[in-house]
A and B are shown apart, each in its own frame.
Chain A
Amino acid sequence: MTTSTPTLATGTQQVDERRGTARRVRKRLNTRVATMISIVIALLWTIPTFGLFISSFRPEDQIKTTGWWTFFSDPQFTLDNYQEVLFGRSSSSGQLASYFINSLAITIPSVLFPLAFAALAAYALAWINFRGRDWVYIAIFAMQIVPLQMALVPLLSFFSNGVSLGGVTLMPAWDLDGAQKFAQVWFAHTCFALPFAVFLLHNFISQLPKDLMEAARVDGATHPKIFRTIVLPLITPALAAFGIFQFLWVWNDLLVALIFAGGGDETAPLTVRLAELAGTRGNEWQRLTAGAFVSIVVPLLVFLSLQRYFVRGLLAGSVKG
């Protein structure tokens, strides 16, 4: 696309040289204004994080007494904050490395499960004809508003007491221990993610060209086959988009982890640990700043690596009727 634009533009210019010049000037002006505005926004959006970033390399007493901008006139650089947060072994410092692994173990399945279940559900709601499907969709959509906080107690009781109806045990208590508690966290995150996931994916799946689906049906393809061979490849961008958001949400979640994973270094994710660091030592900025950056790194990498992929995918998916 980028290569075709200039050729077309030159063609036009040859047709009407004067008009073309005027437009070029105007375009350049517009580009300049656009660039200015985007730079201003980018700066506004980056400065707070940048300040934190600079602070994370400053010694403790400096952070507490002077603004981070004084770093440039009086640079005092230290890696102690990171050293302490990442590898300190006393429990008052970080040991973040161990929590980092917990975060990974929690996040990956918590992204995959809702992604798959929501894609299946969204496909059914968009392309399978059955009675009341619009109402099912609306109901699932509306469930987005149920506050997470109110769901914690019933879900915890589901895990720790099981389900029984009229004295008959339908499901025994889970009784998980140690690393197995991850399963509870995955389950909880999957539940809470589904309404938004179904909403987002349904939006994409229902926009797929009708002809495509009907052609496949005429060819005798079953729903599972259409789902696998036609829909899944086309909605990869949407899957990537939701994947990113769910990843960020789970990675940054505190409440669900606190309840279902507990607070020890066996299962608790980074966020729980960071909250502890912030809580007991309210003004230990040096730990907070470094800790925050350790936790940002992974989501940022995920975003950067998926970004290209899902923009390209979206373009492929847009070839519609």
Chain B
Amino acid sequence: MAVFARPRQAFAIAGVLGLALSATACGTGGDNDNNSSKAGSAECAPYEKYQGHDGKKVTIYSSIRDIEADRLEQSWEQFSGCTGIEIDHEGSGEFEAQLGVRVDGGNAPDIAFIPQPGLLQRFVDSGKLKPAGAETKAMAEQNYPADWLKYSTVNGQFYGAPLGSNVKSFVWYSPETFREKGWTVPTTWDELITLSDKIAATGIKPWCAGIESGDATGWPATDWIEDVLLRTQGPEVYDQWTTHGIPFNDPKVADALDRAGTILKNEKYVNGGFGGVKSIATTSFQEAGVPITTGKCALHRQASFYANQWPEGTKVAEDGDVFAFYFPAIDPAKGKPVLGGGEFVAAFADRPEVQAVQTYLASGEHANSRAKIGDWVSANNKLDLANVANPIDKLSVQILQDKSSVFRFDGSDLMPAAVGAGTFWKGMVDWVNGKDTASVLQGIESSWPK
């Protein structure tokens, strides 16, 4: 054992010394720590019920990075200041893969914002996730529709409230171009096709699309299929499909795929500004809608968050350069359910301060605090529309808060990752590149984990 200790001992010594040093560095750094004095002030009144965890630290791991992460961290600054709970957020582009490694390696974060209910379920199955506390549950039930909460409920246990959301059933267009050319926003599928033909007749390819997205290439196409399936078959069939109640290659699904194909695989319709059908696979989703601004394309189906992808100076508004209309109904009897996504605040620890943060993130205070900073959509019904500045976000929040709208989560995020983040994506790439519907669906079906 004595020999064993050698290299490690040195590390340990180095570590201890490093610790001592960093401690002194902090001391001299002049940490203006006046958290406790603020606790009683008026601005801290809303955080009364979260008190009692002063000096505790909660780590959060998520896929949110860049400006979005800055804004998120800013949104809970006041909460942190008033309660004394330090929140340490780390965002990573490798979130989905890294989270598993960290959890398996015994180094799980306290809280993870998990955007895939399928992934959440995987961590529940392996016994790593802790059920949310009673207060968190009560807060979530108060603020979120049941349609949402069922996605973070596994075997009757509730694991965490949603945080941010997005609406995927949007078609982007240029209000200005529409006005100039005298086109009108379609409200039914038939009108949509008529409009497409009309645009195609003017020599412009009406649709543009792009499904390249690094190691997630293919996902924008899965959203297309899901939106169409929801509209042709209704939410019940959709639920059966995402839970493998009906096979992945059910004729109903094939029908939806073919219908989407009448646009996506139609050389007359796509790919405005980029080339032919095959260019869809290699066009990045970020660039895909941009030709709308130059008039080379008229329609682009993409989620609300595409608002951030327009070139600088593009005005996103109903009377601006670009805006989005709601993806029209296909079968009036099935209506037009909302397809959307979002992330769930799930916890790997059940310490009181962790649960306090979970509860706070489910509250209306946080939703409004975050919305005020800008570019934010949430299904939280305490979210005040007045705090949502961006027109497209406003429209999204209205749709999500509308009691009559039926909501369904992005299906690829519900399926097991091997399908939802694997063969479904890859299958869509093959499909766009010319592979026939039946064999694509057959391939995906056979990959569904038994």
Within A170-229, the residues touching B (CB, 8 Å) are 170-171, 174, 176-180, 183, 186-187
Q: How far does the alpha carbon of A280 sit from the alpha carbon of B67 in the complex, in Å?
A: 9
B104 touches A280 (CB 8 A): no
Q: Which residues of B contact A264 (CB under 8 A)?
A: 90
B92 touches A258 (CB 8 A): yes
Q: Which of A152, A161, A170, A177 contacts B101 (CB 8 A)?
A: A152
A258 touches B94 (CB 8 A): yes
Cβ of B147 within 8 Å of any chain A Cβ, yes or no, is no
Within B1-35, the residues touching A (CB, 8 Å) are 1, 4, 8, 11, 14-15, 18-19, 22
Contact flags A153-171 to B (C-beta < 8 A → 1, else 0): 1111101110000000011
B93 touches A276 (CB 8 A): yes
B102 touches A156 (CB 8 A): yes
Cβ of B105 within 8 Å of any chain A Cβ, yes or no, is yes
Q: Which residues of B contact A282 (CB under 8 A)?
A: 213-214, 284, 286
Q: Which residues of B contact A92 (CB under 8 A)?
A: 66-67, 70
Instruction: Report the count of interface residues on A (CB-CB < 8 A).
Output: 35
Cβ of A24 within 8 Å of any chain B Cβ, yes or no, is no
Contact flags B84-95 to A (C-beta < 8 A → 1, else 0): 000000111110
Q: Which residues of A contact B107 (CB under 8 A)?
A: 156-157, 159-160
Cβ of A11 within 8 Å of any chain B Cβ, yes or no, is no
Q: Which of A159, A161, A180, A258 contacts B98 (CB 8 A)?
A: A258
Q: Which residues of A contact B286 (CB under 8 A)?
A: 281-283
B105 touches A187 (CB 8 A): no
Q: How far does the alpha carbon of A216 sit from the alpha carbon of B363 in the complex, in Å?
A: 77
A156 touches B14 (CB 8 A): no
For the complex formed, measure the closest distance between the CB of A254 and the CB atoms of chain B, giving whole angstroms.
9
Q: A153-B101, A156-B105, A283-B284 are in contact. Are A183 and B93 (CB under 8 A)?
A: no
Cβ of B69 within 8 Å of any chain A Cβ, yes or no, is yes
Q: How far does the alpha carbon of A279 sit from the alpha carbon of B93 in the complex, in Å?
A: 6
B: interface residue count bin = 20 to 34
B65 touches A179 (CB 8 A): no
Q: Which of B22, B91, B104, B105 contacts A263 (CB 8 A)?
A: B91
Closest B residue to A186 by beta carbon equals: B11
Within B67-103, the residues touching A (CB, 8 Å) are 67-70, 90-94, 98, 101-102
Cβ of B321 within 8 Å of any chain A Cβ, yes or no, is no
Cβ of B287 within 8 Å of any chain A Cβ, yes or no, is yes
Q: A91-B69, A159-B107, A258-B92 are in contact. Are A183 and B11 (CB under 8 A)?
A: yes
By a beta-carbon cutoff of 8 Å, the part of chain B in contact with chain A is: 1, 4, 8, 11, 14-15, 18-19, 22, 65-70, 90-94, 98, 101-102, 104-107, 213-214, 284, 286-287
Give 18 A-B contacts (CB < 8 Å), ordered by A residue.
Answer: A90-B70, A91-B70, A92-B66, A152-B105, A153-B101, A156-B107, A157-B107, A160-B106, A161-B106, A177-B19, A179-B22, A180-B15, A258-B92, A263-B90, A263-B91, A282-B213, A282-B286, A283-B287
- Pairs A-B, 6 closest by C-beta atoms: A156-B105, A279-B93, A160-B107, A280-B66, A160-B106, A161-B106
Given A91-B70, A258-B92, A279-B65, output 11 extra A-B contacts at Cβ < 8 Å. Answer: A90-B70, A92-B70, A153-B104, A153-B105, A156-B105, A157-B105, A171-B8, A259-B102, A276-B93, A279-B93, A282-B214
By a beta-carbon cutoff of 8 Å, the part of chain A in contact with chain B is: 90-92, 152-157, 159-161, 170-171, 174, 176-180, 183, 186-187, 258-259, 262-264, 275-276, 279-283
